[in-house]
Amino acid sequence: MSKDLITGAEALMRSLEHHNVKTIFGYPGGSIMPTFDALYDHLDKINHILVRHEQAAVHAAQGFARTSGDVGVCLVTSGPGATNTITGIADAMIDSTPVVVIAGQVGVNFLGSDAFQEVDLVGITQPITKWSYQIRRAEDVAWAVARAFYIASSGRPGPVVLDFAKNAQIEKFAYVPTKLDYIRSYVPVPDTDADSILAAAELINNAERPLVLVGQGVELGNAQQELCDFIEKADMPAGCTLLGLSALSSNHPLNKGMLGMHGNLGPNVNTNKCDVLIAVGMRFDDRVTGNVATYAPQAKVIHFDIDPSEIDKNIKVEVAVLGDCKKTLAEVAKHLKPQKHTDWIESFKTYEEVELEKVINPELNPLSDTLSMGEVVRAVSDATNHEAILVTDVGQNQMMAARYFKYTKNRSIVTSGGLGTMGFSLPAAIGATFGRPDRTVCSFMGDGGLQMNIQELGTIMEQKAPVKIILLNNNFLGNVRQWQAMFFNRKYSFTPMMNPDYLKIADAYDIPSKRVTNREELKAGIQEMLATDGPFLLEACVIEEGNVMPMTPPGGSVNQMLLEC
């Protein structure tokens, strides 16, 4: 405890250090300048990464948080600096990513006067945060930071915004380090009803065709081993949501693949054949369920979740098991009888064989001389021994990467799931390299997504961030074009892309690069990329009108997937 008087800005730096923050992503400006001045004297303990746009600061913080398990932190100025973070905050909210965004604000005396770069950040962000608070007095800094970190990281994680008035940055007070582990009326982890544990176990013990849906909550709760023990004891096949793909190794014999609109045929079709459906840490997103009216009508549903608001929100459940899934999975597993569901698990093979013949083999071994997205993804995954972190953008590159990349380690996929934010991959991959500097980070993107945040090549250049950028260039906004082809009579309304020479752009940022146009060049290009210290851009020119299959058409049922366009 210090009795010395310090500024609110200095108190913020000490509070961040008190919460073990070592990396922040940000961009300075007028209303946050006193805080950046204080930061200058703390660079021995806090590494500040200067991004080139505030949206990228939040995405980088997301990539850091999702790979490290720690809270990501951003520091920006008021007005447009603050509003530029909105997309990232909304993305973090829907994907349950713990970030704390600290934004400058005009002094309290100027609030409500339409002062230069004044904006009601608290009002704007309240619907898309777990908590949004304006710090108006220096003496509130330590309390607000402690509360922010506790709320962001506890229970179902999510974003918190601190709107830091300029007068509070400058005022002096006697700073006292603060941490919180309790807030009245805030219950991050609900109590688990013992009856629900027994009811869930009874349903599973009596099931003939159980199916487990694995969501990101398993990763967020660090319950990967508990999940394995759970499914192995009762011999239950599992499918993974997009954000939950690396919670269960791709090689696990009970892992039957990805759920959702572009997921694998077996787990989707068998969703409508199982008799007990067990959802763990997932929210029954519409891209997973398809038409809810025809979603698993035959099944009794068990839902493990930490957030009571998710229960019965989209899908009515038979048993709700509330609580931390690391504990609840283990508790239910204690009551499970060892079983074998051989015939049920064998039933997935028929769909696997159909998908292999109709979709996977044509994608990985295309008849065309031109590269396919899937074969590029699989080649990169193979070259990294399936141990790399996959960061994707949004669109066809995202679905192809998710489908054809393989996962053998936890926290290995970083993608914009619920919001679908183009431009996510490049800054998120930068954050991932700081979150897990010991791992290879492969950033897949399309030509559209790269140009959404292309300025972050400057951040990569300055930081020498070892992002391995794989640009799947098809000269289209590919996902929209696919929908136009399938549902809008091939009217390609503003989806063809006129592209620049990306190698020249990479060269301007001093980033090594290579373009590959055929499979003879692909292997050498990947080897060169992985052998290069630091960043690298590999542009793969792929089939222009390739499609991601299988696909559940909009409004369709999960068991009615299209295998061809």
Question: E strands, 281-432, where?
Answer: 300-305, 319-322, 389-392, 413-414
pLDDT tens digit string along 51-75?
Answer: 999 999 999 999 999 999 999 999 9
Alpha-carbon gap, residue 559 to 557, rounded angstroms: 5
pLDDT tens digit string along 336-358?
Answer: 999 999 999 999 999 999 999 99
Rounded to 5 degrees, what are φ and ψ at 442?
A: -105, 120
Amino acid at 557: S
pLDDT tens digit string along 235-251?
Answer: 999 999 999 999 999 99
DSSP 128: G
pLDDT tens digit string along 259-280?
Answer: 999 999 999 999 999 999 999 9
The structure tokens listed for 371 are 């590269």
pLDDT tens digit string along 89-139?
Answer: 999 999 999 999 999 999 999 999 999 999 999 999 999 999 999 999 999
Alpha-carbon gap, residue 169 to 334, rounded angstroms: 53
**Band of the pLDDT at 288, cuts 50, 70, 90?**
very high
Question: 552-556 long-range CB contacts below 8 Å, 24 or more apart?
Answer: 552/260, 552/261, 552/268, 552/290, 553/486, 553/487, 554/487, 555/290, 555/291, 556/290, 556/291
pLDDT score of 287: 96
Average pLDDT over residues 318-347: 98
Percent of the chain having pLDDT more than 90? 99
- Which of 413, 444, 459 shows the shortest CA–CA distance to 537? 444
How are beta strands 5-7 and 172-174 bridged, if at all? antiparallel
pLDDT score of 1: 44
pLDDT tens digit string along 188-231?
Answer: 999 999 999 999 999 999 999 999 999 999 999 999 999 999 99
The structure tokens listed for 448 are 């559209």
pLDDT score of 106: 97
DSSP 106: -
Exposure on the CB side of residue 467, measured as CA atoms within 13 A: 33
**Band of the pLDDT at 296, cuts 50, 70, 90?**
very high
Helical H segments across 310-384, by residue range: 325-334, 342-355, 361-364, 373-383
Rounded to 5 degrees, what are φ and ψ at 175?
A: -80, 135
The structure tokens listed for 532 are 């290069």
CB count within 10 Å of CB 352 equals 15
Alpha-carbon gap, residue 50 to 43, rounded angstroms: 13
Amino acid at 81: G
Dihedral of the alpha carbons of 246, 378, 264, 325, in degrees to the nearest 10? 0
Rounded to 5 degrees, what are φ and ψ at 300?
A: -90, 130
Alpha-carbon gap, residue 79 to 82, rounded angstroms: 5
pLDDT score of 479: 97
Query: Is residue 565 predicted with pLDDT exceeding 90?
Result: no
Query: Is residue 83 predicted with pLDDT exceeding 60?
Result: yes
pLDDT tens digit string along 455-513?
Answer: 999 999 999 999 999 999 999 999 999 999 999 999 999 999 999 999 999 999 999 99
DSSP 178: -
Average pLDDT over residues 9-16: 98
pLDDT score of 2: 47
Rg (C-alpha) for the chain, rounded Å, is 24
Alpha-carbon gap, residue 349 to 264, rounded angstroms: 12
Dihedral of the alpha carbons of 217, 221, 225, 231, in degrees to the nearest 10? -30
- The secondary structure of 195-243 as a DSSP string is HHHHHHHHHHHT-SSEEEEE-THHHHTT-HHHHHHHHHHTT--EEE-ST
Cis peptide before 550 (omega within 30 of 0): yes
Give the length of the chain. 565
pLDDT score of 4: 85
Amino acid at 250: S
pLDDT tens digit string along 175-189?
Answer: 999 999 999 999 999
Average pLDDT over residues 532-553: 97
Average pLDDT over residues 514-522: 96
The rounded mean pLDDT for the chain is: 97
